[in-house]
Amino acid sequence: MDYQSILEKIYREILPFAGQGEQAGYIPALQRVNPDQYGMCLQTVDGCSFSCMKADTRFSIQSIAKVFALAMGLSLRGEGLWTRVGKEPSGTAFNSLVQLEIEKGIPRNPFINAGAIVVADVLMSELKNPEEEFLSFVRALCGDDSINYNLEVANSEREVGYLNAAIANLLKYHGTIKNEIEPLLMFYFKMCSVEMSCKELARAFLPFTNRKRFAYAGYTLSISQIKRLNAVMQTCGFYDEAGEFSYLVGLPGKSGVGGGIVAIYPMRYSVAVWSPRLNSKGNSVMGMKALELLTTYTEESIF
């Protein structure tokens, strides 16, 4: 498969979408990012790498970080993790308070904000230095010790994080989280602020493509756990647009409001794409179209 030519063809074809959408305006630091950028990288399991445009430019991965947190949580708690958070698509906005109240403080899945805050709470309870250990885990996955938090983004999110604070307080009321709210929220915002490039993200997700035991930075996952993590990405990885992504693309993946999207084709490749302009559901306009064209042209998907 000539992936390089395909990536270049995709870029040419999605150029008409370049001006559509807006970056995440409710996070001031993200609003200052130049929205007219695009990068894409595909990494195969046999070590080949293909990239296009700004694939080396780092950006805030935002909710993509929730996959790394979930992997750590599953390694630490196993099936017990699911007593604190569900694994069903939300059907509502990723920051919905209404659904959380109706379901008595148990978030629908670990990729909506409430679920990710619960997973962060688990990590805070289990780890001596959760911020350092989370970063070490991500660095081990992509093999780059220069990966770091962007504290400007994290602090920007905390300054306007009223809704996430309300979610955390509601979780605390229902007894779903154990730690103090303020340090927990800062840990959550720092996780989301991690900056990576498309190349680094694609490398970091390669271990999730293989049907073999996962072991990085002291965390291990069984083949069964990797399968289930991929299943949650497939059904819950794109906010309230997971069904559309499955229909158009047909790969497990995760998006972030920084404009990044990562997807995997099991036993074949991982792919990351980034463009900051988002659609109404919070997913990258050009990124969604790029991945749709990728599976169309390659005729490779899980379906």
The tokens for 72 are 């750590």
Domain ranges across the chain: 3-298
Q: Can you list the positions of beta strands (E) in the chain?
A: 39-44, 49-53, 59-60, 195-196, 214-216, 219-221, 253-255, 260-265, 269-274
d(CA 271, CA 170): 36
Q: For 239-272, write each residue's pLDDT tens digit.
A: 889 999 999 999 999 999 999 999 999 999 999 9
Count Cα atoms within 13 angstroms, Cβ side, for 84: 25
The whole-number pLDDT of residue 93 equals 64
Q: How confident is the model at residue 95 (pLDDT cuts 50, 70, 90)?
A: low
Q: For 124-158, write each residue's pLDDT tens digit.
A: 999 999 999 999 999 999 999 999 999 999 999 99
Rg, the chain, Cα only: 18
Name the CATH superfamily, with its identifier, for domain 3-298: DD-peptidase/beta-lactamase superfamily (3.40.710.10)
Task: Say how far residue 5 (Cα) sits from the centre of its chain.
Answer: 27
Q: Can you list the positions of beta strands (E) in 180-268?
A: 195-196, 214-216, 219-221, 253-255, 260-265
The whole-number pLDDT of residue 104 equals 86
Res 14 pLDDT > 80: yes
Closest-CA residue to 110 (of 255, 237, 221): 237
The whole-number pLDDT of residue 99 equals 82
